Amino acid sequence: MAVSWTQHRFSGGVLALDTANTVVLRGDAARSFDRFDEPMEIARFAAAASGFRADELKGRALAAPDPLAIAGKVIAIREATDRLMRSSVIDGALATADMPAFLNACASGLIGARESLSAATPFGATPEPLAFEAALAVSALSLLSAATMSRLRICPNCNWLFLDRSRNGSRLWCDMAVCGNRQKAKRHYSRRKEVQNA
């Protein structure tokens, strides 16, 4: 079944976290599922990300013409990124044991890329579409800055990783309109039930 790649699916704040969040309910073995189980979803995700992550990508489109060929690289980057960033949020520090797998996965995503990257154009400046796996690697590597890592969070509702870009760094939910409202509704229902049972 085709996924509807809506704005909510891009609540992570950067391409690498949005991609990590394509595993739904990660950590819940009974209910978790992978939106990339069907490799064609990688191409559809890349097309949607071209629009939803246009600011991060500086307007460059993403290309995934052969999703089956890149699926291994994409999944490796996704899993290594999730493992490293999730443990850094939980533990408050990067686990050096997870760094080699993360760096190797990112390096694999960059093999064959012929880009010139700079601070002003982190995804290159050519008008041609950028290979999705290369963009994913660059986005994942950009998470390693201290300023970015201090803003990494895990949503208490859906368990997605996201960057807290709020001014005071106090954002709780990956998406207030979805996860925040669900939690508010759950609390409201619990309070009403308590009143009715009293």
Domains of the chain, earliest start first? 7-197 (1.10.3300)
- pLDDT band for position 69 (cuts 50, 70, 90): very high
What is the pLDDT, as a whole number, of residue 80? 98
Structure tokens at 103: 């760096």
Q: Which amino acid does the sequence have at 47?
A: A
What is the pLDDT, as a whole number, of residue 188? 45
CA distance 14 to 2: 22
- More reliable by pLDDT, 29 or 82: 82
What is the pLDDT, as a whole number, of residue 119? 80
Which of 34-48, 70-84, 168-182 shows the lowest mean pLDDT across its residues?
Answer: 168-182
> Is residue 40's pLDDT more than 80?
yes
> How far from each other are the two terminal CA atoms of the chain, in whole angstroms?
45
Residue found by looking up tokens 């201290």 in the block = 146
> Is residue 43's pLDDT more than 80?
yes
**Of the candidates 162, 8, 166, the residue with the CA atom closest to the CA atom of residue 86:** 162
63 DSSP β-pair partners: 131
Structure tokens at 87: 């443990």
- pLDDT band for position 112 (cuts 50, 70, 90): confident
**Of the candidates 31, 34, 10, the residue with the CA atom closest to the CA atom of residue 22:** 34
- pLDDT band for position 63 (cuts 50, 70, 90): very high
Which of 31-45, 91-105, 132-146, 163-177 shows the lowest mean pLDDT across its residues?
Answer: 163-177
pLDDT digits (tens, 9 = 90+) for 117-162: 888 888 888 889 999 999 999 999 999 999 999 999 999 989 999 9
